[in-house]
């Protein structure tokens, strides 16, 4: 049986960058031929009335099919409250069917969209489409709304109990003023009623606003028939009981280390320079580490990325850590060369190609671009831009970051 799994966090392409800068040494590899990435281009598309926009990608010789449905989240909808709960309730609904079928299901949420992905045997296409219909159906309060809300609130509380969590949360909020603080999000989650959730569902789950990426040997007429009824309404249960009083706020735990974080608003989302820069930065921090710990994050927004570095050190090394983190764009710009860029790009190429060789990996790669409003061949174009990157491109990107004042956060003794 293929397991049911929780959603991936963060952007797939950013994760590959961090893998490229992991503790393992970079191994010289030949670049993948450009035409290897033609499999990221759809062979067929359709825009049927009353159903999602559909892109179909080939999976030659595969007996599996992946369906990835993107549900856009309007800018007026807070993605930090209702969206994670809709995702959790969808997983609750589809887990049983997926387990019986032996299918793998995944639900994710980004700043731009909710996504539901199912992978299974091609002969089970009707049942796989049924799982998507379950995932996008109007939620019922009895499906675990109170538990999902409590789980989300508890997760937010845990973030606020560590220095690392508070630094990341403040960096994200201050680098994106539209993003609420952890305390504000917790309060919104606590006050979220099931009626509020229904309103968000009605706003977002219109089939004609959705996009479906299909990877497999699927005929369009068969697929259209299987998707009939997607996003249908169901009669909800009665309103929930009154909310319980807020739990007492725990005291802030002691922090033995000093935490620092710096964040720079980056260029438009899915700029390959950002992914390469994140990998180079992670590698430099790893190589220079002396008395402190530090890491890199690349956060995706609706229209831009945020490149962040976070680190911690004991008091004796704290000042040196702060200087190193704040000066990272400048020091990287001075040291970047074509050899280091090519080594990162080669690893990223092979990682992307490795993902694209599975139906679910290909659906996720293509789907993530479509959620931002990019054209159908955006993933393929991204790879081309990645391959063409030079040290001068990355240096210009870093110099632009260095010219801006970063968001700075300090936490600890």
CA dist 162 → 34, 45, 165, 399 (Å): 44, 47, 5, 32
pLDDT at site 143: 85
- For residue 25, pLDDT over 60 is answered with no
**327-366 per-position pLDDT tens digit:** 999 999 999 999 999 989 988 888 888 888 888 888 988 9
The answer to whether 205 and 161 have CB atoms below 8 angstroms apart is no
Task: Give the model's confidence band at 42: pLDDT under 50 very low, under 70 low, under 90 confident, else very high.
Answer: confident
Asked if 368 contacts 13 with a C-beta cutoff of 8 angstroms, the reply is yes
> 62's torsion region: left (phi>0), alpha (psi -120 to 50) or beta?
beta
β-pairing, 53-57 with 211-215?
A: parallel
Cβ-contact 82, 192 below 8 angstroms:
yes
Average pLDDT of the segment spanning 133-154:
89
Mean per-residue pLDDT for 241-262? 55
**CA–CA separation, 220 vs 77, rounded Å?**
32
Pairwise CA distance, residues 7 & 15, whole Å: 14
Neighbours of 239 (CB within 10 A): 10
On whether the CB atoms of residues 139 and 198 are closer than 8 A, the answer is yes
Where do the domains of the chain lie, and which CATH numbers do they carry? 12-23+32-226 (3.30.830.10), 258-411 (3.30.830.10)
More confident residue, 346 or 182: 346
Query: How high is the mean pLDDT of the chain?
Result: 80
Residues of the chain with pLDDT > 70, as a percent, come to: 82
Residue 277: CA count within 13 A, CB half-sphere: 33
- H helices of 30-142, in order, are 82-101, 125-136
**Region 156-178 average pLDDT:** 81
Check if the beta carbon of residue 68 is closer than 8 Å to that of residue 211: no
Position with higher pLDDT, 314 vs 194: 194
Whether the pLDDT of residue 247 is over 60: the answer is no
User: Is residue 261 exposed (0-12), middle (13-18) or buried (19+ Cβ within 10 Å)?
Assistant: buried
Q: Tell me the C-alpha distance between 350 and 348, whole Å.
A: 5
In whole angstroms, give the CA distance from residue 170 to residue 172. 5
Q: Which two tokens stand for residue 329?
A: 């764009």
Q: What was the pLDDT predicted at 34?
A: 64
350 Cβ neighbours under 8 A, 6+ residues apart? 29, 32
Helix (H, G, I), strand (E, B) or coil at 205: coil
Note the pLDDT of residue 30: 53
Give Dmax (Cα) for the chain: 67
Question: What pLDDT, on a 0 to 100 scale, did the predictor assign at position 291?
Answer: 66
Which backbone phi and psi does 64 adopt, to 5 degrees?
-105, 160
* Most confident option among 268-282, 357-371, 387-401: 387-401
Residue 51 pLDDT > 50, yes or no? Answer: yes
pLDDT band with cut points at 50, 70 and 90 for residue 86 = very high
The pLDDT-based confidence of 220 (bands split at 50, 70, 90) is confident
What mean pLDDT comes out for the span 105-114?
86
Query: Mean pLDDT, to the nearest integer, of 216-238?
Result: 71
Least confident of 14-23, 99-108, 147-156: 14-23
Contact 211, 69 (CB under 8 A): yes
Q: In what order do the strands lie in the sheet with 258-265?
A: 292-300, 305-313, 258-265, 407-411
Q: Above 70 in pLDDT, residue 262?
A: yes
**Lowest mean pLDDT across 154-168, 184-198, 227-241, 348-362:** 227-241
Mean pLDDT of 78-87: 83
What pLDDT score does 369 carry?
A: 87
The pLDDT assigned to 274 comes to: 92
| pLDDT for the residue 235 | 32
Bridge partner residues of 65 (DSSP): 120
- Note the pLDDT of residue 55: 92
As a whole number, mean pLDDT of residues 237-259 equals: 46
Strand-by-strand arrangement of the 104-109 sheet? 44-46, 53-57, 211-215, 64-72, 113-121, 104-109
**pLDDT given for residue 256 in this prediction:** 62
């Amino acid at each position: 049986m293929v397991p049911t799994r929780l959603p991936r966090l963060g952007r797939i392409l950013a994760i590959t960058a961090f893998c490229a800068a992991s503790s393992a040494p970079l191994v010289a590899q030949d670049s993948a031929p450009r035409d290897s990435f033609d499999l990221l281009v759809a062979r067929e598309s359709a825009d049927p009335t009353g159903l999602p926009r559909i892109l179909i990608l080939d999976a030659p010789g595969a007996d599996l099919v992946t369906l990835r449905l993107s549900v856009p989240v309007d800018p007026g909808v807070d993605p930090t409250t209702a969206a994670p709960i809709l995702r959790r309730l969808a997983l609750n609904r589809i887990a049983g069917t997926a387990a019986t079928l032996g299918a793998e299901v995944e639900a994710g949420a980004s700043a731009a969209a909710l996504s539901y992905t199912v992978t299974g045997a091609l002969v089970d296409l009707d049942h796989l489409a049924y799982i998507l219909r379950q995932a996008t159906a109007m939620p019922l309060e009895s499906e675990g709304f109170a538990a999902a809300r409590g789980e989300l609130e508890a997760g937010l509380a845990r973030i606020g109990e560590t220095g690392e969590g508070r630094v990341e949360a403040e960096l994200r909020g201050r680098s994106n003023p539209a993003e609420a603080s952890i305390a504000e999000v917790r309060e919104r989650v606590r006050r979220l009623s099931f009626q509020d959730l229904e309103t968000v569902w009605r706003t977002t789950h219109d089939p004609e606003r959705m996009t479906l990426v299909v990877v497999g040997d699927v005929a369009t007429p068969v697929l259209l028939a299987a998707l009939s009824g997607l996003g249908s309404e169901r009669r909800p249960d009665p309103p929930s009981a009154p909310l319980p009083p807020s739990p007492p706020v725990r005291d802030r735990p002691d922090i033995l280390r000093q935490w620092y974080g710096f964040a720079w608003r980056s260029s438009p989302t899915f700029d390959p320079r950002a992914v390469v820069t994140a990998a180079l930065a992670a590698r430099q921090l790893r190589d220079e580490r002396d008395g402190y710990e530090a890491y890199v994050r690349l956060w995706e927004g609706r229209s831009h990325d945020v490149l962040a570095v976070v680190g911690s050190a004991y008091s004796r090394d704290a000042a040196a850590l702060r200087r190193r983190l704040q000066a990272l764009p400048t020091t990287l710009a001075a040291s970047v060369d074509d050899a280091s860029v090519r080594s990162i790009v080669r690893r990223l190429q092979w990682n992307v190609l490795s993902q694209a060789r599975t139906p679910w990996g290909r659906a996720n790669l293509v789907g993530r671009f479509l959620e931002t409003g990019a054209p159908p061949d955006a993933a393929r174009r991204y790879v081309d831009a990645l391959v063409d990157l030079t040290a001068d491109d990355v240096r210009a990107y870093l110099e632009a970051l260095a010219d801006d004042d970063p968001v700075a956060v300090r936490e600890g003794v």
